[in-house]
Amino acid sequence: MPEAFQYEFMQNALMAGLLASIACGIIGTLVVVNRIVFISGGIAHAAYGGVGLAIFLGISPILGALGFTVAVALVIAVISFQNKSRADTVIGVLWAVGMACGVILIDLSSGYNVQLMSYLFGSILAVPRLDLFMMAILNLIILGVIFFFNKDFLAMSYDDEYAGLMGVPVRRLYILLLLLVALCVVIIMRVVGLILVIAFFTISPYIAEKYSRSLKKMMALSISLNVLFTLVGLWLSFQFNLTSGAAIIMVAALFFFLSHIPRIRRKPPPVEP
C-alpha cells in the first residue's frame, strides 16, 4: 500500500478524505443528535441540481453545487419553521426535484455521462487541486463557526426550548446548522458522492455516540472513525479498482454492523456493571 501513496492523485485523494472526515465528523454529529438526517439527505440530493446547473453554465461544479445547496438549505429551513407538520413531505419533494433538475440540465448540456456517476458516487481518486483548496476553505469555515458557537450548538442540540429561554437565537442557529450541512455536502461530494453522503454523515456519529460522554468527544471519535473508513476504503478502491465512495461506505457499514454485535450479546441477562 505505501507505494500507492507516492502518486500525486493518491496524495490528493488522501487529503480530500481527511478534509471530508473532519467536516463530516463534526457536522454529522450535529446532524445525528439534532435528528435532521432526512433534511440533510434532502440537501445532499438536491445538490445534484447545482452540479447540473454548473455543467450547463460551464462553471465549476463544486461552485454550482455550493450555491445551489446553500439555497436549498435556506428553503428547507423556512419550510421546517412554517409548515412543521408536513415539512418532511416537502423536503422529500425538493430531494427529488433537485435531482431531476440536475439530470435534465446535464441532458441539455454536452453528452458525457461520466460526470454524473462521479458526483453521485464520488471520485476521490480524481480530485483536482483546485477542489482541494475549496474543500479546505469550507472546512475552515465549518470549524470556525462550530468553535465560535460551540456552547450554543450544544445547548440547542440538548434542549432547544431552554436554550431559547436563555436567549440563544435558536432559529438562526438552526438555519446556520443547515447552511453548514450544505457546505459539508459540497466537501464530501467528491469523496463519497451525493447519494452516499447520508451514510458518511450518520454511521460514524452513530457508533461514536455509544462511546462518548460529551459532544466534543463524539465529534473527535467520529472524525477518527471517518479517517479510518476513508483510508481502508481508499485502499480497497485502489487495489480492486472499485468506486471509491461505495468502498468507503461499505467499510463504514461493516463497522456499523460490528458495533451492534456486543450489544446484542450483552442484552439478555440484565447484569449491570
Partner 1 sequence: MTEPVVVVRDLWFSYGSQLVLRDVGLSIKRGEFLAVIGPNGGGKTTLIKLILGILKPDRGSIAVLGAPPGQASRDMGYVPQNTNIAPQMPITVMDVVLMGRLGHAGRSWRYSSRDRAAAEKALGRVGLLKFRNRSIQKLSGGQRQRVFIARALASEPEILFMDEPTASVDQEWQESIYDLLKELNETVTIVVVSHDVGVLSSHVKSVACVNQTLHFHDEAEITEEMLDKLYRCPVDLIAHGVPHRVLRDHEGES
Give the footprint of partner 1 on this chain (CB under 8 A). 33, 147-152, 154-155, 157-159, 161-168, 209, 212-215, 217-218
Of 33 and 116, nearer to partner 1 (C-beta) is 33
Please, what is the minimum distance in Å from the beta carbon of residue 21 to partner 1?
A: 20
| Of the candidates 11, 24, 17, 16, the residue with the CA atom closest to the CA atom of residue 133 | 16
Please, what is the minimum distance in Å from the beta carbon of residue 210 to partner 1?
A: 9
Q: Contact at 8 Å (CB) between 212 and 206?
A: no
Please, what is the minimum distance in Å from the beta carbon of residue 185 to partner 1?
A: 23
Give the other-Cβ count within 10 Å of 265's Cβ: 8
Of 104 and 165, nearer to partner 1 (C-beta) is 165
Please, what is the minimum distance in Å from the beta carbon of residue 101 to partner 1?
A: 36
Residue 8 — φ and ψ, nearest 5°? -65, -40
Of 126 and 217, nearer to partner 1 (C-beta) is 217
Output the nine-digit C-alpha cell for 83.
Answer: 409548515
What's the CA gap between 65 and 5, in Å, rounded?
29
Cα torsion through 87, 88, 93, 99, rounded to 10: 120
Of 106 and 177, nearer to partner 1 (C-beta) is 177
